[in-house]
Amino acid sequence: MSAVTYEVNLDVDAAIAAEYRGWLEAHVAQMLALPGSIEARTTEVLEPAPAPGRVAFCVHYRLRDEAALQAYFDHHAAAMRGDGVARFGGRFSASRRVLRDA
């Protein structure tokens, strides 16, 4: 089994970016507490540049294997994602990819 990276790209309304970033730090910590999580890295995206009035973040979560990621999807993803939607509504969007070490 090889480690996987779960990449989450976030496009956030600049007016809420500071508050969102604070929430995101807690969200990442919650993710890291789950079994199979190894590490996480949050970055601000510079290129391609976000649209005017927007801020973009990219989070890479490293997990032990695909089974650990599937356990997150099955047991935690809906609630954790729902928290962000409940707090920030349509003022952000997220896209996701799963990457495996080559």
Amino acid code (one letter) for 76: H
Confidence of residue 101 (pLDDT cuts 50, 70, 90): confident
- Of 57, 60, 42, 58, nearest to 3 by C-alpha is 60
**Per-residue burial over 70-86, b = 16 or more CB atoms within 10 Å of its CB, e = otherwise:** ebbeeeebeeeeeebee
Percent of the chain with pLDDT over 90: 96
The tens digit of pLDDT for each residue in 35-78 reads 999 999 999 999 999 999 999 999 999 999 999 999 999 999 99
Q: Structural domain boundaries of the chain?
A: 4-100
Confidence of residue 85 (pLDDT cuts 50, 70, 90): very high
Considering the entire predicted model, what is its pTM? 0.94
Tell me what pLDDT residue 102 has: 82
Identify the CATH assignment for 4-100 out of 3.30.420.10, 3.30.1960.10, 3.30.70.100, 3.40.50.880: 3.30.70.100
Per-residue pLDDT at 1 exceeds 80: no
